[in-house]
Amino acid sequence: MKKIFYLFTFIALFLSACNPNEEIYDELDKVADQYHNTVNYTLLAADYSKAANYAKAYAENKADSTMAGYIATFQAFNQQYTGQLFIPSILPALFPAYGKKSAALITYNYFADMPEEYSMYSDAAIIDFEEDDYKTVDSLVGFAGYFYPEFNPDVYLPLVLTDVYPEAASGDLYAVNYLLSDKTPIFPDEATTYWLREGFDTGLGQFDTISIIGTQGWYKTTFGADTYAKMAGFTGGAAYVNEDWLISKPIELGDYDNVVLNFTHAIRYLNDHWEQLSVAISTDYDGDPLTATWDVIDWGEIADTALLGFSYDKYSSGDINIAAYKNQTINIAFKYTSDLENQPTWQIYDVTVFAGSKIIGGTPILKTDYYKLEETSWVKQGDVHYLTSLDYDAMGEPGVNDNFSTTVKPMDYLPKYLDSKHPLAGEGFSAYVVYKYYVNSAIGTKTITDKLTYTSGEWVSSYSFIKTTTEQFLHNGDYWEFDPTVTFAMSTADYQKLVDYVKANIDSKFVDSYGTQEYYYGAGSYKSNFDLRIAPRKTYKIPGFEGLSDADALDKIWESVADGLKKLLSLKYPNAVTEVAGVEVHYYVTIYTYENDLTRHYYTYHFQCTKSGPDPEFTQIGEKVKID
C-alpha cells in the first residue's frame, strides 16, 4: 500500500509541476528521509566473506591480504580490519530500503586482545637456566645440570634470581625455564666431565644449521614429551633436494683418555640409503663446512644401525670413542642430504660429549615457573600454570601437537587440569593458565593466557580468543557509519544498583527498611524511579539540606540525580572507554521521576566518557531534556 501511495504521489507531481524531474527527486529524498527503522542483526558466514572482500581491496601487500582473508576464515574481524571499519560496507546490501536516522545493532565476532592482566604472563621475559646458574645453587646441582628433590627449585630459584639480577626493579616478572627431576641422581665415583650436553629444549642451542642446497633446514621441534632437532626433505606433499648441516659450536677437549660421543636419534624413510646421512668430526672447521676436513664416523661404530631407518623409535648411538681428539678443538656435524627419489627424516634428540661415567638418575623435564620481584623478594606466582609437554600429554589429544586449536578446545581440558592442581579450590578461587593455541599455518601458534575462576562448582573461563560483541551503526543520510553511542532507559535493576551502592559505600541509614529506596541520590527500585521529594531528605537526614529553601533544595536534589547517574554509569560500564575507533563515546540515559509536586515525568540525560576505565569518569553534556 505504501509503495502504491508513493507511486500516485509521483504521478501527480509529474503532471502538475513545471520541472517534474527536479520535484520528483526532491520527493524521493523526502521519502528516503522518512523511511528509517532500527534493526537487530547477527552477521552470517556470507556477511563475513563480503566484508573480507572489501577489506582485501584496501590491502597493500600479501600480509595485509592474508589478514583481510582471516575475516572470512574465522568469521571474525581482527585488530587490523575491524568491524567498525568494514561492517558499514555490507549494510547497504543487507538493508537497501533503510535511510537517514536508521540504526543497525549488529552482533559480530572479533579477535579479542588479551587484557594486560593476562598478557603480562604471555609476554613475560624468559630466563633459561644454564649450566653456570645451576652451579650457583650447589656443586652437585651444577654437576647434574638440573634440580632434584634435595634441592627444591621453589627454595633456590629466588636466591639465584637475586644473585643474577641485582638490578631488577620491583614489579619485574620473569618466566623461568629450568630442568627438574623427581629422582635424586646417583653420582659416579669418578667425576664426569662434560664438554657438550644438548637436548634441544630451548632451540638448537649449542648447534648451528647451515643449508647448502634446498629451502628446508634443520629446526627444533617437539612431539609429546620429546624435543629434538629435525630435518626432512619431504614436506607439504612434495620431495625436495637438500644438503643441510647441523654443526656444534667449538668443543675444547681436555687431556682425557676416555672421551666419548653419545647421541640419541631416530631415522625413518631411509630405505638403506646410508650415504645420505653422516656423522662427522672436524678440527679445522671455520664456518664453511665445504672447505673443512671431516672425519666421518663409520655407521658400523654406531649402535643399533640395523634397526634404524624404518620408524620414529629412538635409539642410542652408544658411547663412540673420540679420545683421538683429546686436547683439540673439534666440531661435530650431522650432515643430511635428500634427492627426488629418497627423502629420509632424521631426528636428533640429544648429543653429549663427556669423559668418565654418566650420572644415574631420573630424566629431568623442562618446567616453567613465573617469578615476580615484590619489593626485594622474588615471589613465585603459584596461581600461574605454564603448560608443559607432559601436561598436554596427560590431557590426551592436546599432546599430539602440544597445543590447543579450534577443534581441540582449551575448555574441554583445562577444568580437569586445574582440578588436579587445585583439588581444594573454593568458590571464587582463580588461577591463570598459559598455553599454546594453533591459529593456522600462516600464523602458527600463539601463546595465550586465560584466567579461570571456580564458580558454582565448575571452572569458568575469563578470556576467549574470539569474542562476540554488539555495536551500533547509524545511517547519516548518505552512508552507514559506526556509532558507539549507548542509549538506555533505567531498569529496575539499574535503580537497585544505586540503592546497593549507597548502602555499601555511603551510609546504610540513607536506605529504607525494605532495601529498595535510597535518598542520597533518590533512586528506588520498587517504583523504578527517582524520588525528588524534599521531605524524605530531611527525614533521612541527608547531608546538606539543613536550612535550605525549597528552591535550593530542589536544585540540590537535581544535582544529586546527575551525580547518581554518573555513579550508575561507572558501575554499569566499569571498562568504559573515551573513544572507540576514533569516535567519542556518549551515553543517553532516560529516567523516570516522582517529583516534589507529586507529578511524574521522563527525562533524558546526555553524558560523555571523559576518562577510560577502570574507574571511568563521565561528564554531563548540556541540560536534561524532558520528554513527556
For residue 159, pLDDT over 50 is answered with: yes
- Angle at the Cα of 474 from the Cα atoms of 472 and 480, rounded to 5 degrees: 115
**Choice among 118-122, 312-316, 363-367, 428-432 with the minimum mean pLDDT:** 363-367
Instruction: For CA atoms 312, 314, 315, 317, give the dihedral sign.
Output: positive
Distances (CA, A) of 346 to 229, 318, 616: 8, 17, 58
- Angle at the Cα of 87 from the Cα atoms of 85 and 91, rounded to 5 degrees: 135
Helix axes 62-74, 45-57, angle to 10 degrees: 170
The enclosing H or E element of 134 equals helix 131-137
Q: Per-residue pLDDT tens for 211-258?
A: 999 989 999 999 988 899 999 999 888 999 999 999 999 999 887 777
The Cα–Cα gap between 506 and 502 comes to: 5
What is the structure's pLDDT at 245? 96
DSSP 398: G
| Closest to 309 measured CA to CA, from 276, 354, 260 | 276
What is the structure's pLDDT at 509? 96
C-alpha cell at 544: 546538606
**Biggest distance spanned by C-alpha atoms of the chain:** 116
**Choice among 28-42, 90-104, 126-140, 556-570 with the minimum mean pLDDT:** 28-42
The Cα–Cα gap between 623 and 615 comes to: 24
Mean pLDDT of the chain: 88
| Cis amide leading into 185 (omega within 30) | no
Q: What residues have CB less than 8 Å from 513, skipping those under 6 apart?
A: none
pLDDT band for position 473 (cuts 50, 70, 90) = very high
Query: Residue 591: helix, strand or coil by DSSP?
Result: strand
For residue 21, pLDDT over 70 is answered with: no
What is the structure's pLDDT at 361? 62
Choice between 581 and 561, residue whose per-residue pLDDT is larger:
561
The Cα–Cα gap between 131 and 198 comes to: 11
Q: Per-residue pLDDT tens for 580-626?
A: 878 889 999 999 999 999 999 999 999 999 999 889 999 999 999 99
**Choice among 112-121, 154-163, 263-272, 396-405 with the minimum mean pLDDT:** 112-121
| Closest to 72 measured CA to CA, from 90, 47, 93, 91 | 47
C-alpha cell at 508: 546504610
Average pLDDT of the residues in 526-536: 96
pLDDT band for position 359 (cuts 50, 70, 90) = low
Q: What residues have CB less than 8 Å from 395, skipping those under 6 apart?
A: 413, 416, 417
Q: What residues have CB less than 8 Å from 413, skipping those under 6 apart?
A: 395, 396, 397, 398, 404
Q: Per-residue pLDDT tens for 80-118?
A: 899 999 999 999 999 999 988 898 999 999 987 778 888
The Cα–Cα gap between 136 and 132 comes to: 7
Average pLDDT of the residues in 111-132: 85
State residue 591 phi and psi, 5-degree precision. -120, 165
Residue 371 and residue 176 in contact, taking contact as beta carbons nearer than 8 Å: yes
Q: Per-residue pLDDT tens for 277-287?
A: 999 999 999 99
Identify which of 59-68, 123-132, 351-360, 521-530 has the greatest average pLDDT: 521-530
For residue 15, pLDDT over 50 is answered with: no
For residue 541, pLDDT over 70 is answered with: yes
Choice between 59 and 26, residue whose per-residue pLDDT is larger:
59
The percentage of residues in the chain with a pLDDT greater than 90, rounded to a whole number, is 61
pLDDT band for position 143 (cuts 50, 70, 90) = confident
The Cα–Cα gap between 521 and 564 comes to: 5
What is the structure's pLDDT at 190? 47
Ramachandran area for residue 550 (φ above 0: left; ψ -120 to 50: alpha; else beta): alpha
**Cα torsion at 21, 23, 24, 28 (round to 10°)?**
140
HSE toward the beta carbon, residue 87, CA cutoff 13 A = 30
pLDDT band for position 188 (cuts 50, 70, 90) = low
C-alpha cell at 337: 642430504
Q: What residues have CB less than 8 Å from 12, skipping those under 6 apart?
A: none
- Cβ neighbours around 63 below 10 Å, total: 11
In DSSP terms, 455 is beta-bridged to 458
The percentage of residues in the chain with a pLDDT greater than 70, rounded to a whole number, is 92
The Cα–Cα gap between 572 and 602 comes to: 21
Please state whether beta strands 259-268 and 226-232 pair in parallel, antiparallel, or not at all (unpaired).
unpaired
317-327: burial string, b at 16+ Cβ within 10 Å, e else: beebebeebee
Distances (CA, A) of 565 to 124, 147, 532, 585, 590: 40, 58, 14, 16, 10
The enclosing H or E element of 177 equals strand 173-180
DSSP 510: G
C-alpha cell at 383: 596461581
